[in-house]
């Protein structure tokens, strides 16, 4: 079963919580590219350089099978770091913080292994 683009957007938006705006683009291969934007970070972001602070925060990850996970992992980290008062009852994706951190750790180990 292949869910429609709008159904996937709705499902991802529920997972990501009330701060997120989820958009899905189709990439050149017809795959789903998830874009998650933060509605709270559309203005000045403290601690970021000025050129970047004008743009909304977003995680944009083109990709076929892991597009959803990769974008959602980045979103989980964003919530955890920038909106620590958000909890998993509002944003169910926060329940996967430990898994997201584990995946990030594994990706870094892979990159290190490849770099040597
Ligand atoms: Zn934010």
pLDDT in tens, 57-90: 777 655 444 588 889 999 999 999 999 999 999 9
How sure is the predictor about 54, in pLDDT bands with cuts at 50, 70 and 90?
A: low
Q: Domain locations in the chain?
A: 5-114
Distance 113 CA to ligand 1 centre (A): 32
pTM: 0.76
48 pLDDT above the threshold of 90 = no
What would the DSSP string read from start to end of the chain?
Answer: ----HHHHHHHHHHHH-TTEEEEEEE-TTS-EEEEEEEGGGSS--TTS-HHHHTSPPEEEE--SSSHHHHHHHHHHHHHHHH-TT--TTT-GGGGGHHHHHHHHHHHHHHHHHHT-
How sure is the predictor about 25, in pLDDT bands with cuts at 50, 70 and 90?
A: confident
Distance 11 CA to ligand 1 centre (A): 20
Distance 41 CA to ligand 1 centre (A): 4
CA dihedral 106, 112, 113, 116 (to 10 degrees): 180
When mean pLDDT is compared across 41-50, 92-101, 107-116, the lowest value belongs to: 41-50
28 pLDDT above the threshold of 90 = no
């Amino acid at each position: 079963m292949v869910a429609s683009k709008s159904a996937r957007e709705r499902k991802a938006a529920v997972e990501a919580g009330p701060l997120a705006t989820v958009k899905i683009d189709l990439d050149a291969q017809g795959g789903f590219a998830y874009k998650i934007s933060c509605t709270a970070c559309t203005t000045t972001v403290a601690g970021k350089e000025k050129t970047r602070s004008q743009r909304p925060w977003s995680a944009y990850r083109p990709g076929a099978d892991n597009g959803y996970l990769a974008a959602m992992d980045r979103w989980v980290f964003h919530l955890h770091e920038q909106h620590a008062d958000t909890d998993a009852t509002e944003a169910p994706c926060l329940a996967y913080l430990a898994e997201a951190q584990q995946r990030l750790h594994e990706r870094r180990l892979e990159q290190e292994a490849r770099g040597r």
